[in-house]
Structure 1
Amino acid sequence: MSRIVTMDGSPELAAELADVLPRQWRMSTDDPRWVDAIVLVRPDRMRVKRTRAEYPDTPILALVDHDAPVAEVVGVLEAGADACVRDGRPDLVGDHLRAYSGNTPRRFSAA
């Protein structure tokens, strides 16, 4: 199944992620209304909140630093991220994105 993923915050990680996603998936910098998932790199609570408000039906995966305090993780989840990963390794991020395979509603299940 074809999926389109957009990433905000790290062009380097986006390029690395494109290498580990399934072949039929693609990374895009297009309007997130036309993508299947949005990955936010090191977002603060307000960035997640704005993204959720603007794209209420698109899954949001927030990437935070591996040593981020629990309050930061809780903050991005409460702000509207569907999942939060404490590591930016492309293979781990790709696994989280592959875990999402539903159609409607377009939301991640907690992993």
Structure 2
Amino acid sequence: MTVQGGDDLVSAELAATLPHSWRVSRRGFADAIVLVRPSSERVRRTRAEYPATPILVLMDAAAPASDVVALLDAGANACVRDTRPDLIGDELRVINGNRPRRLVGAA
């Protein structure tokens, strides 16, 4: 898994919960993208740049449902209203399966 940019604390905690075969670094090719509290425009730009790559959005727990809908409409594959690494890891497994993966995270 590759994590680029984004929230360093979330990235570090997430790495500890994922399968050992997944790689964590700051740059490179990605099998999935993690965006931390992005705007809808950021999701649109990311989707346009990486049309086939799954995008997981991390949101504040109190984010309204309308924000979730807006980010999904902008191109996110899934939204998680929490930054707990175990929940994020579970969602990434759903998106990508358990085989070795690289992820890019960006704020």
Q: CA deviation at 1:6?
A: 2.7
Moved over 3 A (4+): none
TM-score norm. by structure 2 comes to 0.84
Q: Among all aligned residue pairs of Structure 1 and Structure 2, give the percentage whose two residues are the same amino acid.
A: 55
Q: Which runs of 5+ in 2 are unaligned?
A: 100-107
Q: Which of 50, 53, 57 pairs up with 1:58?
A: 53
Q: Which of 25, 29, 32 pairs up with 1:28?
A: 25
- The total of aligned residue pairs comes to 98
TM-score norm. by structure 1 comes to 0.81
The higher relative CO (CA closer than 8 Å, separation ≥ 6) is in 2
* 1:68-95 alpha-carbon deviations (Å, 9 max, x no partner): 0111101110000000001110000000
Cα RMSD for the two superposed structures? 1.8
SS in 2 for 1:16: helix
SS in 1 for 2:56: strand
Matches for 1:1-40 after TM superposition, within 5 Å: 4-6=1-3, 8-31=5-28, 34-40=29-35
SS in 2 for 1:19: helix
- In structure 2, the CA distance between the partners of 1:69 and 1:48, relative to structure 1 (3 Å rule), is same
Number of the residue aligned with 1:44? 39
Does the CA-based 8 Å contact 1:7-1:40 persist in structure 2? no
